[in-house]
Amino acid sequence: MLKTLATWIVLALIALAAGLWNHRLDEREEKAREAAERIGRLVPSEEGKRLAIAALSAGPRGGPLWRYAPVDGTWRCLDHFGAIADKSAIDALLQALLDAEGVVSSSDPARAVDYGVGAAGAWLVRLHGPSVPASPADNVLLEVELGHQHEGGDGCFVRRAGQKVVWSIDTNPWSALLMGAAPNRPPLLDPNVVPRALLAASRRIERVRVEHAGGLVLELTLVELEVKEEDMRRGKPSFAWNLGVDGRASESSQEAAQAYFAFLFCAPYERVAAALDEQAPGAFAPRATVSLCPAAGEPLVLRVGAPDERGKVLLDNPAAACRYEVSAEVAALLAPRPEQLAPGATAAPWQPYLGP
């Protein structure tokens, strides 16, 4: 009898121990699941692969959202005169969202504002598809709200629409949104009067023609030089710029000519003033016309107006289908006088725009 009782006691103790062990395993598995849910990708890989992105929109929470979509292969802002967007910035923004990994910082909706989510200064980014939306509220595939940036700018806090959790991610979509930002224009626009998208579609520019009102014509022509390999290693250039003034060959400053040529591709505008389409604004008499001519094909043409009472100048770029407003200084640098390219002239006038 005592042996039977002892056996039952031992079996009961074993069962109790097993139960406790299973309970601890369940607790560990639950904690592991919770941890897994708190660490991961903002957009799971399979979800990201299924997104048929046709457009995106971005803007401040509670404010206007601007739509961006490819038009004939070129990304443009549909809500701002069809201005050409900066594709590198758009690619960076999409990558920052779709490749983001991080941890859940809070699942308490009341604490979201502590991370800048749902607060003043937050921005919304929406991805749309499979077709371009008629408004920023249509065809939304994914919506992410951007909160505070991390100290040092190596990430930020975000929240997906329809979720309570605030994520701390290891990428920073703000960096792409702020690329080329300016007060008078939406984000993600190419800031140059000759947008990079036009250059990518064009052949190499080999000649620049500047026609001033009144008849003065300057031409810079790129000429390839025969240079020995050892001279190239010493830094001797393999090309030169020939200057023509009113059809006559003239000596030029290679330093100034090269600086001017480089400036043409980074000359900034201050705002987009209008679209050049079937409802284009009235034409103006250009103070100068600048033509960037490839070896074959149509040139890229800039028509530069005269300064107004504010010191601002209108500039038409038909290839971009936009009328820009630039400063009087930029306008003058786009259409130099012969002495600015003559021997002894330097890169100084254009250098501030060229960077270090």
Q: Does residue 112 lie in a domain region?
A: yes
- State percent of the chain over pLDDT 70: 83
Domain that holds residue 301: 196-354
Confidence of residue 25 (pLDDT cuts 50, 70, 90): very low
Picking from 347, 163, 172, 353, the residue whose alpha carbon sits closest to that of residue 269 is 353
183: phi then psi, degrees, rounded to nearest 5: -60, -30
Burial status of residue 18 (CB atoms within 10 A of its CB: 0-12, 13-18, 19 or more): exposed
Q: Does residue 17 lie in a domain region?
A: no
What's the rounded Cα separation, in Å, for the pair 304 and 317?
Answer: 9
What's the rounded Cα separation, in Å, for the pair 61 and 64?
Answer: 8
* pLDDT of 78 strictly over 80: yes
Confidence of residue 278 (pLDDT cuts 50, 70, 90): low
* pLDDT of 128 strictly over 70: yes
349 and 207 share a domain?
A: yes
State whether residue 310 is helix, strand or coil. Answer: coil
257 and 327 share a domain?
A: yes
**Which residue do the tokens 């909160």 mark?**
147
83 and 119 share a domain?
A: yes
* pLDDT of 186 strictly over 80: yes
Q: Does residue 255 lie in a domain region?
A: yes
348 and 224 share a domain?
A: yes
- State percent of the chain over pLDDT 90: 72
224 and 347 share a domain?
A: yes
128 and 220 share a domain?
A: no
Q: Peptide bond preceding 130: is omega within 30 degrees of 0, i.e. cis?
A: yes
pLDDT in tens, 325-350: 999 999 999 999 999 999 999 999 99
What's the rounded Cα separation, in Å, for the pair 302 and 307?
Answer: 15
Confidence of residue 232 (pLDDT cuts 50, 70, 90): low
173 and 211 share a domain?
A: no
Q: What is the mean pLDDT of residues 173-179?
A: 93
How many CB atoms are located within 10 Å of the residue 337 CB?
A: 13
What's the token pair of residue 75? 């990304």
pLDDT in tens, 40-71: 999 999 999 999 999 999 999 999 999 999 99
136 and 219 share a domain?
A: no
pTM: 0.85
**Domain end among 177, 210, 229:** 177
In this structure, are residues 117 and 159 in contact, taking their beta carbons and an 8 Å threshold? yes
- Please count the structural domains in the chain: 2
* pLDDT of 88 strictly over 80: yes
Output the CA torsion sign for 317, 318, 321, 322.
positive
* pLDDT of 22 strictly over 80: no
Q: Does residue 143 lie in a domain region?
A: yes
**Domain end among 148, 177, 206:** 177
Q: Does residue 152 lie in a domain region?
A: yes
215 and 335 share a domain?
A: yes
228 and 335 share a domain?
A: yes
Q: Does residue 12 lie in a domain region?
A: no
Own/partner pairs, 275-279, CB within 8 angstroms, 24+ separation: 275/81, 275/82, 275/321, 275/322, 275/323, 276/316, 276/317, 276/318, 276/320, 276/321, 276/322, 276/323, 277/82, 277/321
129 and 268 share a domain?
A: no
Q: Does residue 341 lie in a domain region?
A: yes
74 and 160 share a domain?
A: yes
Tell me the one-letter amino acid at 299: P
How many CB atoms are located within 10 Å of the residue 194 CB?
A: 24
Confidence of residue 30 (pLDDT cuts 50, 70, 90): very low
**Domain end among 177, 208, 225:** 177
